[in-house]
Amino acid sequence: MRKLATRTGRLVGTVILAAASAAAVPLTTIQDVLYKAYGTKFNGLPIISWNSFEANDVSNIVPENLTVKVVDGNFRVQLVPTADSNPPTFYSVKYNSDGKIQFQETWVVGTASTPLRIRDVRPRPLRAVHWSPPARLRSRKAT
């Protein structure tokens, strides 16, 4: 009887763990090496913040901030993709170094099975389109 209870307990535990892992929100890894403009590796604390949104798998993501420590340029973080979120949203990233915000940028994170680089999550600027109005049709003079 005791063996049956132990087996049943293990089975229930396994089912609970499987359900919990299946319910985990999918994450995308962003990994890169960061440099300053003059060639030295960045050391600092990027602060990543976001508003609430609904992830692609319908998980509700609450607003929060995340601080990531970057040492010798090595950056790595896992975030919920926002490319297909509802409402459309983004991550705001402020790079802190030497006790002050050096710069900030916006990220839109897509779904990926392999790590993305920071350039992959930066929104691409819209290209300027040079538009010319169509040539007007010339009216013919009645003869």
* Structural domains of the chain in order of their starting residue, each with its CATH number: 26-121 (2.60.40.3390)
Res 23: pLDDT = 63
pLDDT tens sequence across 17-75: 444 445 689 999 999 999 999 999 999 999 999 999 999 999 999 999 999 999 999 99
| DSSP structure class, residue 37 | T
Residues 6+ apart with CB under 8 A from 79: 27, 28, 30, 48, 91, 109
92 in Cβ contact with 117 (< 8 Å)? no
